[in-house]
Amino acid sequence: MGWISQAFGYAGAYAAVWLILARFNVLGGWHWPELALLLGFHILSYSLGASLSFVQMRDMEGLVQRGEFDALLVKPISPWAYLVFSGLNIGYGDHILLGLGMSVWAMIQVHPAWNAWTIPFAITALISAAMLVCAIMTMIGATALIWGRSNHLYSIFFGFWQLARYPLNIFSGAIQVIMLTVMPLAFISFVPVAVILGKSIPILGAWGPVLSLAIGPLAAGIAVMCWRYCVHHYQSAGG
């Protein structure tokens, strides 16, 4: 029932986007099949990354405050690996099915200029986007090791995450910069899909394809350093 309710929730949000397109036909130069591909890629990359990070890192605040994180430090395995893989969330299965369905339908409708690198690029960009989501959530969760709190930061993440459902070019220049740097969630949907469809990418231009593939490993490396720094400075719930 949870899967079904979440699927209907996302379908309702996407229906709102469809209604805008039904009235105005185009949004920032994007037609409905193109936006459907954007939305499909958006939910698919998020669900793959969040299944390995969101619930696990959201619980970090409670683990620290209850002193339960201390027990993980004596296990013969990385605390991060233990948290992530013991808490793998299969509840994102409905997100994945919805994202795959929308993406396949949209790809059939838009008829992109297929070539030898289209499918490999799409798959690699999807993995990179999922790594980016996982990395950002890991860094948010890691802050609880120092501050004792972190869950309030997820509201900021999801605020920008909702903006990533739309073409980046409809926003002001300041928001575009933020979505490509400080909170680079444009890379989980807009940038890779724009590359696939051959659309122009604000600010990045020709660097879009390369950065779309590199952002995931780069963010993962930063997340590793952030996690290790926070664990090294962790002083337990009693300070």
Distances (CA, A) of 187 to 38, 81, 163, 214, 228: 11, 25, 12, 10, 25
The length of the chain in residues reads 239
Average pLDDT over residues 93-98: 83
Residue with tokens 């920032």: 28
What angle, rounded to 10 degrees, do the helices at 118-142 and 208-232 form? 20
Residue with tokens 């989980």: 188
Average pLDDT over residues 110-138: 89
pLDDT tens-digit profile of 5-21?
Answer: 777 777 777 788 888 88
The confidence score (pLDDT) of residue 218 equals 97
Q: Tell me: pLDDT of 239 over 60.
A: no
Average pLDDT over residues 157-186: 94
Percent of the chain at pLDDT > 70 equals 97
- Number of Cβ within a 10 Å radius of residue 182: 9
Residue with tokens 């949004």: 27
pTM: 0.90
Closest-CA residue to 199 (of 107, 112, 99)? 112
Residue type, 36: A
Distances (CA, A) of 88 to 52, 155, 234: 6, 22, 24
Give the model's confidence band at 99: pLDDT under 50 very low, under 70 low, under 90 confident, else very high: confident
Mean per-residue pLDDT over the chain, rounded: 89
Q: Tell me: pLDDT of 213 over 90.
A: yes
* Secondary structure (DSSP) of 152-195: HHHHHHHHHHHHTTS-GGGS-HHHHHHHHTTS-GGGGTHHHHHH
Tell which wins on pLDDT, 118 or 221.
221
Tell which wins on pLDDT, 188 or 95.
188
Q: Tell me: pLDDT of 233 over 60.
A: yes
Cα 104 to Cα 85: distance, rounded to the nearest angstrom: 29
Residue with tokens 């037609």: 31
Closest-CA residue to 98 (of 159, 152, 156, 46)? 46
Q: Tell me: pLDDT of 4 over 90.
A: no
Taking only Cα atoms into account, the Rg of the chain, rounded to an integer number of angstroms, comes to 19
- With H, G, I as helix, E, B as strand and everything else as coil, classify residue 30: strand
Q: Which of 105-109, 188-192, 219-223 has the lowest mean pLDDT?
A: 105-109
Give the model's confidence band at 237: pLDDT under 50 very low, under 70 low, under 90 confident, else very high: low
Q: Tell me: pLDDT of 113 over 70.
A: no
Average pLDDT over residues 85-104: 84
Percent of the chain at pLDDT > 90 equals 54
Phi, psi at 172, each rounded to 5°: -70, 165
Give the model's confidence band at 223: pLDDT under 50 very low, under 70 low, under 90 confident, else very high: very high
Q: Tell me: pLDDT of 56 over 80.
A: yes
